[in-house]
Amino acid sequence: MIGSHEMPAAHPPVSPEQAKAQDNRVLGFWIFLSGECAFFASLIGTYLSLDTHTVGTVTLASLIDLPLTGLMTLSLLSSSLTMVFAFLAMNKGELQAMKIWLWVTALLGAIFLDLQIFEFTHYMASGFTMGSSASASAFFALVGFHGLHVAFGLFWIISLLVYSFKDGITPANTSKVWIAGLYWHFVDVVWVIIFTVVYLMQKVH
């Protein structure tokens, strides 16, 4: 089943069809995430093959502000933890606590996005734009697609929060929160790669 001792035992009885549907959902989502690995790998490969191609324009290394990156990392990393807490609360059937943790997760995600928008505007104002060099194009494609994933995660979590808990915690919405959580953690995993390969490596000489 969803596969863990974390899963609650106190739910109302689940029909075999419902149980199958939830099981499918989690399995299907892991499969989808495997495909997402190939998606981000293509973007990372693109970035790695082009990141030195600045043709004399502004370089990424001259713009990166590591404290800002650190702050972004912290907000996304902690949102992963709050997502786990939301899930723990859901397992105990504590609807309110779960909702609060989900809102905190969304808030931390929003902070991350806000910082990223700030970062991008700053870069673009400094002449580092999609059109300035292949290096910049590759940076914006990789980091931008990650940002879009965070934005979609927000849309998803908030959609669930606002519409999916009218009947409290049920087996159906449990698996929905579970896969939204998987997605959120995965986006965080991708960020770990990005801040290492893109941000930190640029500053290593």
Site for other proteins in 43-82 (CB under 8 A): 43-46, 48-50, 52-55, 66, 69-70, 73-74, 77-78, 80-81
Least Å from the CB of residue 66 to other proteins:
6
Residue of 11, 62, 65, 92 interacting with other proteins (CB under 8 A)? 92
Q: In angstroms, what is the minimal distance from the CB of 118 to other proteins?
A: 19
Residue 73: closest CA among 121, 112, 122, 114: 112
**With contacts defined by CB under 8 A, how many residues of the chain interact with other proteins?**
89
Does 3 participate in binding other proteins (rule CB under 8 A)?
yes
Q: Kindly tell me which of 29 and 116 has the beta carbon lying closer to other proteins.
A: 29
Q: How far is the CB of 122 from other proteins (least distance, A)?
A: 19
Among 19, 58, 61, 88, binds other proteins (CB under 8 A): 88
Looking at the Cβ atoms of 42 and 126, the one nearer to other proteins is: 42
Query: Which residue among 14, 61, 97, 182 contacts other proteins (CB under 8 A)?
Result: 182
Tell me the window of 38-46, 95-103, 104-112, 114-122 that interacts with other proteins (CB under 8 A).
Answer: 38-46
Q: How far apart are CA 180 and CA 201, in angstroms?
A: 30
- Long-range contact set of residues 74-80: C-beta below 8 Å, sequence gap at least 24: 75/108, 75/109, 75/111, 75/112, 75/115, 76/108, 76/109, 76/112, 76/150, 76/187, 76/188, 76/191, 77/188, 78/108, 79/104, 79/105, 79/108, 79/109, 79/112, 79/184, 79/188, 80/184, 80/185, 80/188
From 12, 13, 131, 168, residue interacting with other proteins (rule: CB under 8 A): 131
* Pairwise CA distance, residues 120 & 47, whole Å: 17
- The angle formed by the CA atoms of residues 102, 162 and 190, to the nearest 5 degrees, is 40
